[in-house]
């Protein structure tokens, strides 16, 4: 049995690569398990073909749920957000609940940290407090077809 000779420089680079892989996997493990950055396992689902006949998405709207708190039920569909205009007082906290009956969409509100995926078959939820007055655009940031550039809404914070 013959043994192949491995030059010292190759052993060094192999060790550097192995160590880098080890560090990467440790960091990934810390982020995934130690800091709780796991994919959502509690995400609710909905049949995409039943979105328009299933409560609360059969009547998407903005509802006040308490003092300065609102719930925005929205549907992202080709090529619009329903409802596409929302109005709230400054300082309000809005709990968004979204789904899509057709393709993957995104919801992005510039000048905030709101940036989420809206996936058919899943109900996406997030909460955000609007501390500044303004006329905020609601944009789709995932290409969803030929009319993608028309997919936008408006959030007026007064």
pLDDT of residue 4: 80
pLDDT in tens, 8-36: 999 999 999 999 999 999 998 888 777 76
Domain check: are 34 and 48 in the same one? no
pLDDT of residue 34: 75
pLDDT of residue 2: 65
Domain check: are 8 and 49 in the same one? no
- If one counts the domains in the chain, the total is 2
Domain check: are 71 and 12 in the same one? no
pLDDT in tens, 116-126: 999 999 999 99
Domain check: are 33 and 49 in the same one? no
- Low-confidence residues of the chain: pLDDT under 70: 1-2, 36-42
Domain check: are 54 and 85 in the same one? yes
DSSP the chain: -------HHHHHHHHHHHHHHHHHHHHHHIIIIIS--PPPSS-EE--GGGGGGSTTTTS--EEEEETTEEEEEEEEETTEEES-EEEE-TT-EEEEEEE-SSS-EEEEETTTTEEEEE-TTEEEEEEEE--S-EEEEEE--S--STTGGG-EEEEEE-
Domain check: are 77 and 110 in the same one? yes
Domain check: are 51 and 108 in the same one? yes
pLDDT of residue 36: 65
What is the extent of the structural domain holding 93?
A: 44-157
Domain check: are 25 and 83 in the same one? no
Domain check: are 20 and 70 in the same one? no
pLDDT of residue 38: 58
pLDDT of residue 30: 85
pLDDT of residue 154: 96
pLDDT of residue 35: 72
Domain check: are 88 and 14 in the same one? no
Domain check: are 16 and 64 in the same one? no
Domain CATH for 95: 2.60.40.420
Domain check: are 58 and 30 in the same one? no
């Amino acid at each position: 049995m013959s043994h192949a000779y491995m030059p010292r420089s190759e052993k060094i680079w192999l060790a550097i690569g192995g160590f880098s892989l080890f560090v990467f996997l440790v960091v990934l493990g810390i982020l995934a398990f130690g800091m709780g950055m796991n994919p959502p396992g509690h995400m609710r689902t909905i049949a995409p073909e039943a979105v328009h006949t299933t409560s609360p998405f059969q009547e998407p709207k903005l509802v006040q749920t308490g003092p300065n708190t609102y719930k925005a039920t929205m549907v992202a569909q080709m090529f619009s957000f329903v409802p596409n205009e929302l109005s709230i007082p400054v300082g309000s906290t809005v709990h968004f609940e979204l789904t899509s009956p057709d393709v993957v969409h995104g919801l992005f509100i510039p000048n905030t940290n709101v940036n989420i995926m809206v996936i058919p078959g899943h109900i996406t939820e997030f909460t955000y407090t609007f501390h500044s007055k303004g006329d905020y655009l609601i944009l789709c940031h995932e290409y969803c077809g030929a009319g993608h550039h028309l997919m936008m809404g408006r959030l007026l914070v007064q």
